[in-house]
Amino acid sequence: MGFLKTFFSRLFGSSAGVRELPSGSVTVDQSGSIVTSTVSSTFPSVILRQVGQDVVTLFREARAAQIPMNQVSLQFGSLLITARELRGGAVIFLFPQTAVPQNLNEPRNESRNESRL
C-alpha cells in the first residue's frame, strides 16, 4: 500500500489541480532511467522517471520476496498503468481511460444523417 500512496502522490502532487493524463509507453533500465518514451514531452519527465524507478523497485522487491511477478496492472481513477519486467528493467504502458467506452469496430448508423424524401 505504501507503494501506491507514494506513487500517486508523486504523479498527482499534493495540491489539487487539473493535469492531462499521460498516454504512451516508457522503457526503463535496471536503475529506473528512461531509455525510450512515447509519452508527450509536455508531461514532466521527472514524474516519468520516478514512475520507472518505483516500478523497477517493485519488481526487484517481489523477486527478493520470491513472489513470481513479471507484470503488474494498476488502475487509479481514469488512469490504467501496466508494467512488464524486462531483464531487470521494465516497459510501462500508460492508458487514460475514457468515461464512455467506444467500440471503433462498430459501424456507424448513417440512417440518422439521411434526409427523408
| Percent of the chain with pLDDT strictly greater than 90 | 42
pLDDT for position 25: 95
Is-contact 27 35, C-beta < 8 A? yes
pLDDT for position 106: 60
Query: Residue 105 pLDDT more than 70?
Result: no
Q: Class assignment of domain 2-9+22-95?
A: alpha beta
Structure confidence by residue, pLDDT tens digits, 42-62: 888 898 899 899 999 999 999
Q: How far is residue 31's CA from residue 6's CA, in Å, rounded to a whole number? A: 18
Return the beta strands (E) in the chain as ranges. Answer: 24-28, 34-37, 71-76, 79-86, 89-96
Query: Residue 79 pLDDT more than 60?
Result: yes
